[in-house]
Amino acid sequence: MTQNAYVGLGSNLGDRAGYLLLAVRGMLDAGLDVTRLSNLYETAPVENENQPAFLNMVAELRGSTLPSPEQLLACLLRIEYALGRTREVPMGPRTIDLDLLLVKDEQFNTQFLTLPHPRLHLRRFVLVPLNELVPNLVHPVLKKEVRELLAHTDDKAKVLRWQP
């Protein structure tokens, strides 16, 4: 049986598009089957607004046997570290940010990982690219399709398809 996972990618320092592509390459090099990528979207920062704009996208991972959610998270954290991610300022600027959004229809809650991502349904910069890939995907907790979450989110921030 094929299983899917979705990863949100973001960057707002340096060569933003380059960092996103390096992160995708890192996932491939780690043996993850990256099957689809959304377009790139430029978005304003959320919460800590005194920083450069982000480029965001979503990657779909697919396989008959995906690593466990904890293993996926560990892989993403290694990629962030390799690409110079630091965590000095909460919600601050970053070369790369990799968020595990969904793994199959699993619900998961530990000290280190919550699935689905607890703010997924609140953020247009995640919902727009996720909707591009899987508009009919049902959120396992809220029981609504991604397209519905996007249509009803209170977040009105502009999420614009990036034109280099």
Q: Give Cβ neighbours of residue 72 (< 8 Å, ≥ 6 apart).
A: 5, 32, 61, 66, 100, 103
Q: Give Cβ neighbours of residue 71 (< 8 Å, ≥ 6 apart).
A: none
Q: How many residues comprise the chain? A: 164
Q: Is the backbone of residue 6 left (phi > 0), alpha (psi -120 to 50) or beta?
A: beta
99 is catalytic: yes
16, 99, 123, 124: which one is catalytic? Answer: 99
15 is catalytic: no
16, 97, 123, 124: which one is catalytic? Answer: 97
* Cis amide prior to 116 (ω within 30 degrees): yes
Tokens encoding 46: 């959320």
Q: Are 24 and 59 in contact (CB under 8 A)?
A: yes
15, 78, 85, 161: which one is catalytic? Answer: 85
Among 120, 2, 149, 11, which residue's Cα sits nearest to residue 61? 2
16, 94, 123, 124: which one is catalytic? Answer: 94
85 is catalytic: yes
**Catalytic sites, residue numbers:** 85, 94, 97, 99
